[in-house]
Amino acid sequence: MAKLCVQLDDIHAAAGRIAKHAHRTPVLRCASIDRILGAELYFKCENFQKVGAFKFRGACNAVACLSKEELKRGVATHSSGNHAAALELAAKLSGSSAHIVMPSNASAVKKAAVEGYGAKITYCEPTLEARESTLAQILEDEGRTLIHPYNDSRIIAGQGTAALELLEEVEDLDVLMAPVGGGGLLSGTSIAVSEALPSAKVIGAEPLNADDACRSMEAGEIQPSHDPQTIADGLLTSLGDLTFSIIRERCSGIVTASEESIIEAMRLVWERMKIIIEPSAAVPVAALLEKRGDIPGNRVGVIISGGNVDLDRLPWVE
């Protein structure tokens, strides 16, 4: 296998670094969803992680890698959601601080979450250009360290710890599935699984309406997202060069799910498992409901990426 920027050892090291702050989340099962899909599913519940999403793992690892001097100057990033809250909490727990650039159209619930953790926030126009130029100015003015949401080897190693825990807890999985947006979680998962359990496949899942990862794999180069319209608001971004090269090398395939299936899968998990998952987290289950992924009879690990939902606006309520 080609040498990548993140190795299994890096994921093990990340697991050690984040152990005192991150939750070891439970793995839940659901007999009725197993019956519906004709497979054994093991749900790694990162909706129960701190800040309600796997993002805390990567952010916590990245902050733990900083020098005292870097911690003192603080960190910065642009994010519309879970990465912002995760980075702010990780910085706070290490006696550092975070400055977050958020698009002005971020959802109220995500704004409130980031504000609730006490981050310094600068709102900008909701374009990638505005985000990047605003962030560049902050990095220059304040001397902070950039912690990119996904295209960063410390972040990728941190996200891989969820799969590592799942492999430790459940033996002989045939397949692991994770949603893919920028690809940090899927990259970390792909490295952990391809090195620790090479017999298993890793499958990424994304909304059909934001199928840039699928198109990127087919084209052999990163394809951009064009203003994707999907309820899975954590999966809007395109791959970065690091995540693209890892996924291309180590992931068995990307499957897609329609908006209708995503809502159906989200509701199915709420009803049958009594856990709250966000639309992005429902995408792998949605793809399985569409009979994608070829898993019947298999033991399938699914990383439930997060549970941050605006409870005032549920997709199935008019």
Can you read off the two tokens belonging to residue 32? 């009725």
Shortest Å, Cβ 275 to a second copy: 6
Q: Is 80 a catalytic residue?
A: yes
19 vs 314, which CB is nearer to a second copy?
A: 314
54 vs 244, which CB is nearer to a second copy?
A: 54
Q: With contact defined as beta carbons under 8 Å apart, do 275 and 45 qualify?
A: yes
Cα separation, 172 vs 128, whole angstroms: 42
Shortest Å, Cβ 240 to a second copy: 28
With binding defined as CB under 8 A, does residue 20 bind a second copy? no
Strand ranges of the sheet holding 75-78, from the earlier edge strand across to the other edge:
120-124, 98-103, 75-78, 145-146
Stretch that binds a second copy, among 95-103, 148-156, 162-170, 307-315 (CB under 8 A): 307-315
With binding defined as CB under 8 A, does residue 169 bind a second copy? no
With binding defined as CB under 8 A, does residue 36 bind a second copy? no
Q: Site residues for a second copy, window 195-214 (CB under 8 A)? A: none
Angle in degrees, 0-180, between the axes of helices 241-250 and 184-196, rounded to the nearest 10: 40
Q: Site residues for a second copy, window 43-62 (CB under 8 A)? A: 47-48, 52
Cα separation, 250 vs 203, whole angstroms: 10
Shortest Å, Cβ 274 to a second copy: 4
DSSP state of 215: H
Cα separation, 209 vs 252, whole angstroms: 21
Question: Which of residues 67, 140, 171, 317 is near a second copy by CB under 8 A?
Answer: 317
Closest CA to 66 of 8, 132, 146, 140: 146
Cα separation, 260 vs 238, whole angstroms: 22
Q: With contact defined as beta carbons under 8 Å apart, do 200 and 173 qualify?
A: yes
Cα separation, 67 vs 73, whole angstroms: 10
Q: Site residues for a second copy, window 246-285 (CB under 8 A)? A: 267, 270-271, 273-277
| Catalytic residue chosen out of the listed positions 80, 96, 194, 216 | 80
Shortest Å, Cβ 141 to a second copy: 33
Q: Going by DSSP bridges, is the β-strand pair 40-45/299-304 parallel, antiparallel, or unpaired?
A: parallel
Stretch that binds a second copy, among 80-88, 171-179, 201-209, 305-313 (CB under 8 A): 305-313
With binding defined as CB under 8 A, does residue 28 bind a second copy? yes
| Catalytic residue chosen out of the listed positions 44, 50, 55, 110 | 55
Torsion of Cα atoms, 133 then 104 then 127 then 147, to 10°: 50
Residues annotated catalytic, as ranges: 55, 80
Residue ranges that bind a second copy, judged by CB under 8 A? 26, 28, 47-48, 52, 267, 270-271, 273-277, 307, 311-312, 314, 316-317
